[in-house]
Amino acid sequence: MDTEERRNEQSSERSARIPRQLWVEEPAERRRMPDPVRTAAVRAVLITSLTLIQAMVAFLSAVTGSWLAFPMMLSSVGSTVVATWSVLDVWVTRQVWNQRNGVVSVPSSTARRMRRERRRARRTARSGARQATRIRRRGTGGLSRA
């Protein structure tokens, strides 16, 4: 095997070994949540996780017979109500955001089709108005005034 053959063999080995990337970006399948909805969702997750921790502490203190069991149980019930309220807040915030900001336009959306029809109607009305003013100008422009 001569030097040239070895070089060709090494270069083919290098090209065969494609380095794997650690991070590969993929396009998002879903759009990002709006800011108010995302804020409410983060708040709900934090409250729910704290409620679960509190319930676990209440359970463990009840099992061990600690004096802390009864107050923790009462506060866990209250925290459960607050956590339920926060999850409902996410849903309500999402609904309000959708109502205020309209429909997401997708190609089959009714809203998009209606907007196109309104635009066409406005364009034809404007072009008709322009045509009418042009005709009037042409008709009066040829007359001489004494």
Chain segment 90-114, per-residue pLDDT in tens: 999 999 988 888 765 555 666 778 8
Instruction: Please return the burial class of 2, using the count of CB atoms within 10 Å of its CB with bins 0-12, 13-18 and 19+.
Output: exposed
Tokens of 15: 């090209």
Give residue 78's pLDDT: 95
Summarize pLDDT for 56-78 with one digit per residue, the tens.
999 999 999 999 999 999 999 99
* Spans of all domains in the chain: 32-102
Contacts of 104 (CB under 8 A, 6+ apart): 31
- Report whether pLDDT(141) > 60: no
- Report whether pLDDT(12) > 80: no
User: Which residue, 93, 96, 98, is CA-closest to 38?
Assistant: 93
Average pLDDT of 83-88? 96
- Report whether pLDDT(85) > 70: yes
Give residue 40's pLDDT: 95
